[in-house]
Chains A and B, each alone.
Chain A
Amino acid sequence: MSDKVKIRLSFLGAIICWLLFTGSSIYLLLVQSYDMKVDFSNFFPQLCFTGFVLTTFAYYRYIITKADSLNFTDLLWKVFITGLITTLISLAIQLFFSIFASTTLVESPLTINFFYNILVGLVVIYMVSTLVVWKRLILYQKSKNLLKLWGFFEIALMASLLFDFWGIQFGEPYFQLSLVILALFSIILVFNLKWVAYLNFKQKWKGILFILLSGIYLYHFLLKLSWFVATDMVIMNLLDRVFILGLFAFLFLYAVISILVTLFNLPTSSVFEQKLKEALDFQKLSQSIPRGETKDQTYEILLESSMSAVFADAAWLEVKEEGGTNQIIRNLKDEEVNEIKSAIKGETIKAILRLELKNEVNPGKLTDDLKHSQFKSIIALPIMVQNKQVGFIVLLNEVSEAFNREMVNIITTFVNQASVSLENLSLIQESIENERYKEQLKIAKNVQKSLLPKALVNNDHLTVAAFSMAADEVGGDYYDILEYRENRFGLIIGDVSGKGTSAAFQMAQMKGIFHSLANQGISPSEFNKKANIALSQCLERSSFITSTYFDINTEENILTFSRAGHCPSLFYCKNENTVDYLKCDGMGLGMVRNSSYEDYVHSNTMSYHAGDTLLLYTDGITEAKNQDGEQFGSDRLKDSFTTHASKAPDQVKEGIKNDLSQFIGEMIIDDDYTLVVVQFKDKKND
Chain B
Amino acid sequence: MTDISTENTDGIHFITVNGEIDAGSSIYLDNALKQAMDNGEKKIIADLSGLDYISSAGLGVFISHLDEFKLKNIELTLFGINETVKQVFDILGLEKLLTIEKTKEEAIKSFDE
Contacts and interface: CB of A to CB of B under 8 A. Distances in A.
A543 B60 contact: yes
Interface string B72-94: 00000000000010011001111
Given A497-B57, A592-B97, A546 B67 contact: no
A567 interface: yes
Given A542-B64, A600-B96, A631-B84, A499 B23 contact: yes
B57 A586 contact: no
Contacts of B56: 495, 497-498, 544, 546, 619
Given A591-B97, A592-B97, A631-B84, A546 B92 contact: yes
B59 interface: yes
B91 A565 contact: yes
Given A498-B56, A600-B96, A631-B84, A568 B91 contact: yes
A664 to B, nearest CB: 15
A520 B31 CA distance: 43
Q: How many A residues touch the partner, as a band?
A: 20 to 34
B96 A587 contact: yes
A498 B55 CA distance: 8
Contact of B91 (A498, A540, A542, A566): A566
Given A497-B59, A543-B60, A585 B93 contact: yes
A593 interface: yes
Given A542-B60, A542-B61, A592-B97, A498 B92 contact: no
B4 interface: no
B92 A565 contact: yes
Nearest to A497: B56
B63 interface: yes
A540 B64 CA distance: 9
Interface string A492-504: 0001011100000
A558 to B, nearest CB: 25
Q: How would you classify the secondary structure of chain B's contact residues: helix, strand, loop or mixed?
A: helix
A542 B63 CA distance: 6
Interface in A465-503: 495, 497-499
Q: Which of B53, B87, B92 has the most CB of A within 10 A?
A: B92
Contacts of B61: 542
Q: How many B residues touch the partner, as a band?
A: 20 to 34
A546 B90 CA distance: 12
A207 interface: no
Contact of B93 (A498, A540, A591, A631): A591
Q: Which of B30, B93, B97 has the most CB of A within 10 A?
A: B93
A6 interface: no
Contacts of B55: 498, 671
Given A591-B97, A593-B67, A544 B91 contact: no
Interface in B30-59: 30, 53, 55-57, 59
A382 interface: no
A541 interface: yes
A631 B87 CA distance: 13
Contacts of B87: 634
A592 B66 CA distance: 9
A649 interface: no
A566 B93 CA distance: 9
A628 to B, nearest CB: 13
Q: Which of A542, A585, A586, A593 has the most CB of B within 10 A?
A: A542
A671 B57 CA distance: 12
Given A587-B94, A587-B97, A619-B56, 18 more contacts: A497-B56, A540-B64, A542-B64, A544-B56, A544-B63, A544-B92, A546-B92, A565-B91, A566-B91, A586-B93, A587-B93, A587-B96, A588-B94, A591-B63, A591-B93, A592-B97, A600-B93, A619-B88
Which 3 A-B pairs give the minimum distances between C-beta atoms?
Answer: A587-B93, A497-B56, A542-B60
24 contacts: A495-B56, A497-B56, A497-B60, A498-B23, A540-B64, A541-B63, A541-B64, A542-B57, A542-B61, A542-B64, A544-B60, A544-B63, A544-B92, A546-B92, A565-B91, A565-B94, A566-B91, A567-B91, A587-B96, A587-B97, A588-B93, A588-B94, A600-B96, A631-B84
